[in-house]
Amino acid sequence: MTKEKSWVNWRSGLLVLVCIITFVWAILPIWLNGIRGGYDPNFHMGRIMALADGIRAGHFPNPIGYRYLQGMGYGVGFFYGNFWLYPAAFFVAQGAAVGQVYTVLLCVLVAGAMLSIGLTTVIMTKNLGATAVAIPAYVLNYYNVSVLFGRAAIGEAMALIWMPLVMLGAYAVWQGWRYDWWLLGGSMAALLVSHLLSFVIAVIFLLLLLLVSLPRMVKRPRMVWHWLLAGIFGAGLGAAFLLPLVEQFMVQTYKNTALDSAGRPLILGSPINIVSAITPWIAQVQGATGSFLLLAGAAAVISAIVGWPSRPSGFIWTLIIVAVPMGLLVYSPAFVAAIYHVSPGIAVFQASWRFNTVLIPLLTLIIADWTARVGQRWLPLGLIVLNLLVYYPAFQNTLYFVHTRTASARWVAYSISMGEYLPAAFSTHYWG
């Protein structure tokens, strides 16, 4: 066996082993009773139950849950895309327990995120070692474990499946691949019906990417046409969800859920303490990106700046530039305050750590590219071990957090999300 074939086989074996370890560890909290009932799981299980109710009654699709608000009904589907929940709802309609279906759904979302980042990384880097680093970095991090098991919130978990494919679509447009626009537009449409706020964050990411890519677009006008095609295609695919959403906001005023009780924007107090975020044993798990991603990402950026062992591609440089404001939105109170002063609309996100849905795949791809450029066996193996070591405290902290909840993972009632945009007049009439 030649040295080159041995290296390829070693990386293939490493990738398979890492995928198994990552998936088992990612879903381990389920078997350790790490999912408890609470605000998010009750709301999302209610969505699944509402769809199942409609299916049993012969309604498909059914954006309006007729049992909400004590039988008056509510159009949850106008704000939270239900498309990807229909498979789960069909099982519930056939008699499966919604709590069990929800648990299986979380496992499926883990597998989907692994597949998405793995596919994106292997296409962009053409390196199995880099892919072996990217998969655990993307799934076994503080934000993902807090979303999946700390809150058991499937909206952002679904978004984390589609965000790497959005970046792959942007890469395809950058490279000028044939039919690149359908990949980008299709991924954005899938994201739109997964989690609305993450979709808006992805739009911000793409706008920043376009801004940084202007010099290249001037030289390659065809890119402009492909960006437009992607937008038209994505809007067309998502029109059934997008048009009712726009209509709702045009015809009535909605209760503002982005302010605290004192009328201050929630987002101004939400940036994460960076010291806590990079220190594993005192990590603030909820909302934090993760020690490994921040530290390894910083090392990858420094390597790119000094040119060791080589300069990254133009697209990776673009991702590095875009990652800077995304990181500042998560960790810099001054930057968030400045952006709010210029554009108060940013308050709609409620918490700046939501931008992790873009920051995490950005850092993952930057680290994977660095791994591929170095091309040494020790780096992917060392990065994987480091990631697992710093993830363990976050894993323990999250298990402790969920075990403080007394409720079991079961659906209780049809609840309206605190992030839901209820009509202001209705809220006043119903709750006083």
Please give the model's pTM, rounded to 2 decimal places.
0.93
Cα 410 → chain centroid: 24
pLDDT score recorded for residue 409 = 54
pLDDT score recorded for residue 201 = 97
Q: Please state the φ and ψ torsions of residue 254, each to the nearest 5 degrees.
A: -110, 150
Find, among 259, 235, 255, the residue nearest to 246 by Cα: 235
Cα 2 → chain centroid: 41
Rounded CA-CA distance 394/142 in Å is 6
Rounded CA-CA distance 26/33 in Å is 13
Cis geometry, peptide bond prior to residue 87 (ω within 30 degrees of 0): no
pLDDT score recorded for residue 62 = 81
Rounded CA-CA distance 192/318 in Å is 24
- The 10s digit of each residue's pLDDT in 143-181 is 988 888 878 889 899 999 999 999 999 999 999 998 899
Residues lower than pLDDT 70 in the chain: 1-8, 33-37, 281-285, 405-413, 417-422, 424, 426-432
- The 10s digit of each residue's pLDDT in 88-124 is 999 999 999 998 899 899 999 999 999 999 999 999 9
Q: Count the Cβ atoms, other than its own, within 10 Å of residue 139.
A: 27
pLDDT score recorded for residue 128 = 93
Cα 348 → chain centroid: 17
Q: Helix 196-212 vs helix 154-175: angle between axes, to the nearest 10 degrees?
A: 20
pLDDT score recorded for residue 325 = 98
Torsion angle defined by CA atoms of residues 321, 370, 188 and 356, in that order, rounded to the nearest 10 degrees: -70
pLDDT score recorded for residue 367 = 98
Cα 432 → chain centroid: 36
Rounded CA-CA distance 116/213 in Å is 24
Which H, E and C letters describe the chain, residue by residue? CCHHHHHHHHHHHHHHHHHHHHHHHHHHHHHCCCCCCCHHHHHHHHHHHHHHHHHHCCCCCCCCECCHHHHCCECHHHCCCCHHHHHHHHHHHCCCCHHHHHHHHHHHHHHHHHHHHHHHHHHHHCCHHHHHHHHHHHHCCHHHHHHHHHCCCHHHHHHHHHHHHHHHHHHHHHHCCCCHHHHHHHHHHHHHCCCHHHHHHHHHHHHHHHHHCHHHHHHCCHHHHHHHHHHHHHHHHCHHHHHHHHHHHHHCCECCCCECCCCCEHHHHCCCCHHHHHCHHHCCCCCCCCHHHHHHHHHHHHHHHHCCCCCCCHHHHHHHHHHHHHHHHHHCHHHHHHHHHHCHHHHHHCCHHHHHHHHHHHHHHHHHHHHHHHCCCHHHHHHHHHHHHHHHHHHHHHHHHHHCCCCCCCCCCCCCCCCCCCEHHHHHHHHC
Rounded CA-CA distance 69/415 in Å is 8
- Using only C-alpha atoms, what is the Rg of the chain? 22
pLDDT score recorded for residue 420 = 59
Torsion angle defined by CA atoms of residues 267, 269, 270 and 275, in that order, rounded to the nearest 10 degrees: 150
Which H, E and C letters describe 312-380, residue by residue? CCHHHHHHHHHHHHHHHHHHCHHHHHHHHHHCHHHHHHCCHHHHHHHHHHHHHHHHHHHHHHHCCCHHH
